[in-house]
Amino acid sequence: MSTKIKINSQIFQDSNNIYYPKDESEVSDLIRELYKQDSPTEIIGNNSKSFIGNKTQSANTTSLSKISGIIDYRPEELYIKVKACTPINEIEQVLSENNQELAFEPIDFGYIKEGKSNKGTIAGYLSCNYAGSRRFKVGSVRDHVLGFKGVNGKGDIIKSGGTVVKNVTGYDLSKLIAGSFGTLVALTEIILKVLPKKDSSKTVIIYPSNFEQIYDFFNKLSSSSSEISGAVFVPEQSKDKDFVTKKNSVFKFNDLKSNISFIAFRVEGDKISIEEKINNLKKELKLSNSDISTLDVYQSEPFWKKVNNLEIFEKTEHNLIRMVIPPANGSKLCKHLENNHNYFVDWCGSLFWIEVNSKKEEKIKDLKKMAKDFGGYLTVIKTSSEYDYGEAIFTVDKVRLMISEKVKQSFDPKRILNPGKMYRGV
């Protein structure tokens, strides 16, 4: 770790010695100076997701939070260009006024961190690339980024992409930046694809009797022409009283029996087509009216917010794991998790949020092995206070690590930006 050095610039520093560059050129000046002095920096936005990833090995902290504001919003062109640390809330509000949205459904990590909403900034969101429940239908955050500007580890301002959907000019660096945890560039500008909001939504609840049936339903739902835009499974987990209490309080809706296992799937569109799709799906899943309950739009919308806020794991002090696997292996994983760990399943069977109530990291190691065997991966999103980082919080193999090191080198040869945030050496 390098020692703290004096930066010859006018860039504002607060009492904690955090740098607050006010624009792109100040970010560039600061990083250029840090590059010259071989002095790495942690990059933060509004600090809403900085708990995700390893602690960086750096002497300085740079906050991009002042690089904020909407630059250009063209509803008819379906894009919005913003400064990198524009709060998600601000973007969602202006889109909502035009009946548009970020279709990837940003997760609100504020609830697991501190029990209240804190969506943070778009730069933070892009750097993590964690999409919400609609992901399996509309793609991830990376699929909605059309372009960006930022400063690489040498202090050079670089850009990629643009405002148009179809663009194959040069390497698609927007994809590379998504999920890079601020280790390649300090973002200054982001162009996002936006989409129209659906008129309405309804959520259908099914109460399955066993794990095979859950995945049979998930498979039928994702194989239907009557498209759904969300499907979760929340298990009963009757042995853990605290979890049951939490589950009942989070999912307290008139038309939902939350004390037993349930699948919820969402249908969006205009009112007539919602009914048509639900009727089609009922036939395809061979469901009768007595097997199901339906959340109308007034229950459906808050239901999916609670899912995407991870409210069931609000303020968790345990390790929280995000595991993604191909859905065909989901029922095996559910069986393993049953009464071992609290969890729920999103993305129509692909995404598992698992709370690992254990001081020992052996269990995380076992789960990681399972994720790899199933053809997926896991990330420890939030660590308990006892976590000693003996087990890496990301999943990576040797070859990908070697290539990641090369890519890092090409953006940030002296490892100035968020060193060690993802992997040692990157």
CB of 22 to other proteins, least distance (A): 21
- Binder to other proteins among 132, 376, 419, 420 (CB under 8 A)? 376
CB of 212 to other proteins, least distance (A): 13
Closest approach of other proteins to the CB of residue 383, in Å: 16
- Rule CB under 8 A: choose which of 182, 310, 411, 420 binds other proteins: 411
> Please, which residues have CB within 8 angstroms of residue 371's CB and are 6 or more apart in sequence?
323, 324, 325, 377, 378, 395
347 contributes a contact to other proteins by CB under 8 A: yes
**Nearer residue to other proteins within complex by CB, 168 or 290:** 168
Binding flag, residue 159, other proteins (CB under 8 A) = yes
The CB density around residue 338, as the number of other CB atoms within 10 Å, is: 15
By CB under 8 A, name the one of 34, 173, 232, 321 that touches other proteins.
Answer: 173
H/E stretch holding 176 reads helix 173-177
Helices (H), 194-291: 211-222, 241-250, 271-284
Among 92, 179, 244, 287, interactor with other proteins by CB under 8 A: 179
* Tokens 């390893």, located at residue: 54
Is residue 56 a contact point for other proteins (CB under 8 A)?
Answer: no
Please tell me the number of Cα atoms within 13 Å of 299 on its side-chain side: 17
State the nearest-atom distance from the C-beta of 425 to other proteins, in Å.
13
* Identified binder of other proteins from the candidate list 379, 382, 387, 415, rule CB under 8 A: 379
As to burial, measured by CB atoms within 10 angstroms (0-12 exposed, 13-18 middle, 19+ buried), residue 89 is middle
Ranges within 71-130 binding other proteins (CB under 8 A): 74-78, 99-100, 129
* Distance between CA atoms of residues 376 and 57, nearest Å: 28
One of 280, 340, 357, 358 touching other proteins (CB under 8 A): 280
Coil vs helix vs strand at 391:
coil
Pairing of the two strands 60-63 and 18-19: parallel
Q: Does 8 bind other proteins (CB under 8 A)?
A: no
- φ and ψ at residue 6, rounded to 5 degrees: -90, 130
Report in angstroms how near the CB of residue 254 gets to other proteins at its nearest. Answer: 28
Asked if 375 is part of the footprint of other proteins (rule: CB under 8 A), the reply reads: yes
